[in-house]
Amino acid sequence: MNLKPFKLERYFAQYEFSVKYLLSSSDCDGLKQNELLALADSEVKQLWDNLTLGYTESLGHPLLREEIAKLYKGITPENSLVVVPEEGIYIALQSILESSDHVICSFPGYQSLYEISEGLGCEVTRWLPEEDNGWKFNPDFLEKNIKPNTKLIIINFPHNPTGSMPSIQDFQQIMNIAKEKNIFVLSDEMYRFLEYKEGDRLPSACELYDNAVSLFGMSKTFGMAGARIGWVVTKNEELYKKMATFKDHTTICSSAPSEILSIIALRAKDKIIADNLNLIESNLGLLDTFFSDYAHLFKWNRPIAGTIGFAKLLKNSSALEFCQKVVTEANIMLLPSTVYDYGDSHFRLGFGQKNMPEALTKLREYLSGR
Ligand SMILES: Cc1ncc(COP(=O)(O)O)c(C=O)c1O
């Protein structure tokens, strides 16, 4: 398969571990292992203390799969396959698609979602949101663009990079269209449970439709990206078997310590998620003031969920040039929309990190000194 370089990853690689302020990261601040272990109940504490570092069960630790199932309605542990999140995209697409298939994918977005589909030889139609309508993905687009060979609709809500979400009605419409036309759905739900209002949370696609695969994991919502633990969930048994079989060619099984750490975090999910949402909400409040102070420079659609949003540079300036100046002159990393192949006018801001207020103050200083 011929895959183009992952532009966002290549951009991050230049600065992620050298720049002082990361103001575009999509994960919540990394959870400290000591703090996480302090949340362990006695059963998991024992598992941790007696852990051996041999191979693990290929489908995932049974207790982890039990905790995963509890996140969904009508889902059993047998419906979930533990993977690295990025791996989940790869094996789901490999298991669903053939080169003659047509795919519709929300765009801009996480590059693997469309890149791997294209790499498999599929034709991919990009489904763009309406910026002036709160980055709305209009389901009518699907009706107009479905072809006889459309095999898969790929969606990602809460959305990277805009932080937008469809209404429940629009989401139902998307799922109903897929059901009626018998089209698979890959629903990337990596930012789930970070909805600022609980009422905005959507059902998971795998709950609503047997031919849907939902992807979620520990990286963003739980601040555990370094654990490399995620999962794909589907009620479609044939597809499940295909994905599980494919995993023998990727990672075979997951990291033993990471599985146990993930069980602890999922059992303590209410506290971890509440802490992260508190941080996000306070950081977002600072951004509200920032964008109202700089309304002459930037346009901002306030996200509805997640850790990231997509701002537009007014005055026709290049986002790439702006981000490069900010990183070299102020030691702050922002992410230009060029890495999303989405023009050169937007940049991604992240607000899940603890030092975000300081980073924003530095950005203000930089802007006032220009
Ligand atoms: C929408 C989306 N899907 C999948 C992933 C992959 O997650 P991970 O990097 O933990 O493998 C990311 C990470 O940025 C993402 O934003």
The confidence score (pLDDT) of residue 155 equals: 98
The confidence score (pLDDT) of residue 5 equals: 92
Residues of the chain with CATH 3.90.1150.10: 7-32+270-363
Residue 370 has pLDDT above 80, yes or no: no
Residue pLDDT, tens place only, 274-283? 999 999 999 9
Mean pLDDT for the chain overall = 97
Q: Name the residue among 173, 213, 172, 211 with its Cα closest to residue 189.
A: 213
Q: Looking at the CA of residue 86, tell me the nearest atom of ligand 1.
A: 11
Q: How many Å lie between the centroid of ligand 1 and the Cα of residue 87?
A: 10
Interatomic CA distance for residues 96 and 314, integer angstroms: 41
Q: Name the residue among 347, 300, 350 with its Cα closest to residue 319.
A: 347
Residue pLDDT, tens place only, 151-181? 999 999 999 999 999 999 999 999 999 999 9
Contact yes or no for 354/29 (Cβ under 8 A) = yes
Which pLDDT band holds residue 369 (cuts at 50, 70, 90)? confident
Residues of the chain with CATH 3.40.640.10: 53-268
Q: Looking at the CA of residue 159, tell me the nearest atom of ligand 1.
A: 1
CATH superfamily ID and name for 7-32+270-363: Aspartate Aminotransferase, domain 1 (3.90.1150.10)
Mutate which of 8, 105, 157, 219 for ligand 1 pocket (most atoms within 8 A of beta carbon)? 219
Q: Name the residue among 183, 103, 195, 208 with its Cα closest to residue 157.
A: 195
Interatomic CA distance for residues 298 and 349, integer angstroms: 12
Distance of CA 321 to the CA centre of its chain: 26
Rounded to an integer, the average pLDDT of 240-253 is 98
E strands within the chain? 21-22, 80-83, 102-106, 123-127, 150-156, 184-188, 212-217, 230-233, 298-300, 308-313, 332-333, 335-336, 346-350
The confidence score (pLDDT) of residue 69 equals: 98
Interatomic CA distance for residues 81 and 88, integer angstroms: 9
Residue 316 has pLDDT above 90, yes or no: no
Which pLDDT band holds residue 86 (cuts at 50, 70, 90)? very high
Interatomic CA distance for residues 269 and 228, integer angstroms: 17
Work out whether the CA dihedral 272, 60, 260, 87 comes out positive or negative. Answer: negative
User: How would you classify the pairing of strands 308-313 and 298-300?
Assistant: antiparallel
Return the residue matching tokens 């053939």.
Answer: 98
Q: Looking at the CA of residue 109, tell me the nearest atom of ligand 1.
A: 1
Q: Take atom 9 of ligand 1 and give the residue whose Cα is closest.
A: 86
| Choice between 98 and 315, residue whose per-residue pLDDT is larger | 98
Contact yes or no for 28/223 (Cβ under 8 A) = yes
Q: How many Å lie between the centroid of ligand 1 and the Cα of residue 191?
A: 9
The confidence score (pLDDT) of residue 220 equals: 98
Residue pLDDT, tens place only, 112-142? 999 999 999 999 999 999 999 999 999 999 9
The confidence score (pLDDT) of residue 16 equals: 87
The binding-site residues of ligand 1, defined as CB within 6 angstroms of any ligand atom, are 26, 84-86, 110, 156, 160, 188, 190, 217, 219, 225
Q: Take atom 6 of ligand 1 and give the residue whose Cα is closest.
A: 86
Contacts of 360-368 with C-beta under 8 Å, sequence gap 24+, read 360/23, 360/283, 360/286, 360/287, 360/290, 362/21, 362/330, 362/331, 362/332, 363/23, 363/290, 363/326, 363/330, 363/332, 364/290, 364/293, 365/330, 366/326, 366/329, 366/330, 366/332, 367/294, 367/297
Q: Which fold has domain 53-268?
A: Aspartate Aminotransferase; domain 2 (3.40.640)
Report the share of the chain in percent with pLDDT over 90: 98
The confidence score (pLDDT) of residue 345 equals: 97
Which pLDDT band holds residue 1 (cuts at 50, 70, 90)? confident
SS3 of residue 34 by DSSP: helix
Rounded to an integer, the average pLDDT of 228-251 is 98
Rounded to an integer, the average pLDDT of 294-309 is 97
pTM for the full predicted model: 0.97
Distance of CA 35 to the CA centre of its chain: 24
Interatomic CA distance for residues 158 and 304, integer angstroms: 8
Which pLDDT band holds residue 312 (cuts at 50, 70, 90)? very high
